[in-house]
Amino acid sequence: MNIAFIGFGKVAYTLSRLIKSPDINFLTSTEKRSNDTIDLINKSNIEVYDSFREALENAEIIISAVTPSKAVKVADMYGPYCNGIYLDLNNISPDTSEKISNVVDNFVDGAIIGKIDSKNPTLFLSGENAHKLLFLNDFLNVNIISDNIGDASKLKLLRSTYTKSLSVLLIETYDLAKKLDLEDEFFDTLSITDGDDFKDKSLSRINNTLKSSKRKAEELEEILNYFNSDELDMVNAALNKLKQF
């Protein structure tokens, strides 16, 4: 089986390492890719084609792993070359999932829950063809939500509404603690109620948010565009703060 990636960042890189089977071959292209992306592709030791069209036409499964703002454009460009399943793993809204479903055959709505490089990453899937990807359960935790396109994206948005807003609040509180020279005591205090590993998890969340603030801001914009933004005061505030990082 050939699986082709559109986009090759952390998600594609990690999946290519997680899904190890002699029956699965990964494909992609360096066409119009940055030097950093090309370096990551070379580290992955996967099959590289001169063009995405060639790679996609040779694949039974296509995985789109780009930024949310490019998801529809990528589907428009490369969807016609899809001969099998088209799996979108971008943090997009259900409305965006519907748009992609309208231009791509055999579409599956996907959402990675939590960090892709965690010990047991979880993949939510929805759509009539989601069951065709159950073989991935041999490599990560696969949860089929329903046959409805958009349901996986809805759950991802709900989770992101909470986690990304909370991450911004955590950064603000941590900055206050540092100004007061009480950062260790701050984590010690919260660890009493939130567990001994709270500090390590919090610092990881802070670093991840700061490193990928632009992408996380795009994800919050997807949330505000889908839900009634007038009712999401905390999300609006988190978005404004992310844009300052």
Distances (CA, A) of 73 to 4, 67, 79, 215: 17, 11, 10, 16
- The CATH superfamily holding the domain 2-148 is NAD(P)-binding Rossmann-like Domain (3.40.50.720)
CA–CA gap between residue 23 and residue 70 (Å, rounded): 31
Residues 145, 125 contacting (CB under 8 angstroms)? yes
Ordered by start, the domain boundaries in the chain are 2-148, 154-242
Per-residue pLDDT of the chain (245 residues; tens, 9 = 90+): 999 999 999 999 999 999 999 999 999 999 988 999 999 999 998 999 999 999 999 999 999 999 888 999 999 999 999 999 999 999 898 999 999 999 999 999 999 998 888 878 999 999 999 999 999 999 999 999 999 999 999 999 999 999 999 999 999 999 999 999 999 999 999 999 999 999 999 999 999 999 999 989 998 998 998 988 888 999 999 999 999 98
Q: pTM of whole model > 0.75?
A: yes
Distances (CA, A) of 33 to 3, 30, 50, 212, 221: 19, 5, 11, 19, 25
> Domain 154-242 belongs to what architecture?
Orthogonal Bundle (1.10)
Segment (H or E) for 87? strand 85-88
DSSP three-state, residue 134: helix
Locate 59 and state its tokens. Answer: 């694949």
